[in-house]
Each structure stands twice: as structure tokens, then as C-alpha cells.
Amino acid sequence: MIAFTLQSGVLPFAFALVLALVVVSARAEPVRFQNIEALMVRFAQAELFRKKAPTLGRLPAPGEVGMLLPTKVSDGQGGAVQETINYIREDHVIARNPEPVVPGVYNEWLVKKVDWLESYGALPTSNRTFKPFTRKAVIRAILIDDEVLRLLGSEDGETALIHVGWSPEGMRVFRNGYLTRSGYGIAPEEMEETYRRVPAAH
């Protein structure tokens, strides 16, 4: 009688719990979009963009190395939402957009020093004060529409989780934002406020 109770009660519950954990784990797996041929075809004809607003940058202070830096973007409703999070390393530059997402909350992210040099031409010298830098490099990006979200395995039809090299948790990208060939996403409001299209060369 006891064996029957365990079999019909606890074991099915345990199986359901394990199954739920497997499903959650599968959902949380970031997508390597570079392996999706249909997306790579789109990038061949993608528009070019250059940042029109300066990017603020500084070096990490010694006490910040090893700490987590969350990247916040607008939620489109007057608030902020976390896009990604990463550990600060000595080989990083802390980048920031000049205007806050909401009062007191800035869009900040980490850039490897070697990548910063390639994009901006010089490294920050201070680990206390942000200084403005003008981006020299252009990016190739595609609009995140219904088809892109489908290819990325979106579960809610509004967002998707992509693999990025700097965070095992991946990066959340949003409908009407942009996906860059370099391997990251740009939120809709950030793209509108800080980037401009670069005319195609003839």
C-alpha cells in the first residue's frame, strides 16, 4: 500500500519537477545566431550605421574589478529593464551613453580594451571620470522583426536571448531593436537616439 502511494504520488511529482527543470533550462539557453544561415543571408544586405552621439568611457577602478555590471535599457514604458550582466575585468572599458535611461540610471556596458581601440582610436586614461569618445567604426545591423524573432526561438514574440562572448547568461534582444553582425543587440530606443544610417557607397 505504501509502495503504491509512493508510485502514484511522489514519483509522478518528482518526474514532473525534473521535466519542468529541463524545460526551463532549455528555454534559458542563449542562441548562437551566427549559426543560423537565414540570418547570415540577411546580414549580407544589412544597412550600415554609425553612432551619432558620443560614447562616454572610463577605465575600471581597482575596487570594481570582479564586480558585476548590469546593463539597463528602456522598457518602452518609462522604466528600465536589465538587458545583460557581466563581471568587470582589468581589460575592460566601462562605456556609458550620455543620457540616462531613467533619472539616475544609465545605459552602461563593458567593452574589451582591444575592441574599444578599434572603434574609438584611443583608450580612456581615468578610472574615475567618464570622458566622451566619438565612434569611428560602422556597424552592420538588421531589424529584429517577426521573422528574426522566430529564427531566434522567441517564446513571447517580443524578445529573444542571444549568445554573447562576454556573458554566459546571454543578452536579451527586443522587437524593433537591431541585431548586429558583431554579435550583440541594440534596443529600439538606443538605436533611435544614438545611431544614424550610413549611406551606401556607390
pLDDT tens for each residue of 48-99: 999 888 999 999 999 999 999 999 998 888 899 998 899 999 999 999 999 9
Split at pLDDT 50, 70, 90, the class of 201 is low
Q: How many separate domains does the chain show? A: 1
Res. 202 pLDDT band, cuts 50 70 90:
very low
The answer to whether residue 24 is domain-embedded is no
Q: Is residue 11 part of a domain?
A: no
pLDDT value of residue 17: 35
| Residue with the three cell numbers 554566459 | 168
Nearest Cα neighbor of 82 from 167, 153, 139, 193 is: 167
> Is 173 a domain residue?
yes
Q: Would you say residue 152 lies in a domain? A: yes
- Tell me the pLDDT tens digit for each residue of 14-42: 433 333 333 333 445 899 999 999 999 99
**Whole-number pLDDT of residue 18:** 36
Is 154 among the domain residues?
yes
Residue 158's CB is within 10 A of a number of other CB atoms, namely: 12
Long-range contacts of 36-44, Cβ-Cβ distance < 8 Å, separation of 24 or more? 36/151, 36/152, 38/151, 39/142, 39/148, 39/151, 39/152, 39/179, 42/142, 42/148, 43/140, 43/142, 43/181
Q: What is the pLDDT of residue 77?
A: 86
Q: What is the pLDDT of residue 131?
A: 97
Structural domain includes residue 125: yes
pLDDT one-digit tens code per residue, 93-144: 999 999 999 999 999 999 999 999 998 999 999 999 999 999 888 999 999 9
For 73, the domain range is: 30-198
- Phi/psi for 44 (5° steps) reads -65, -30
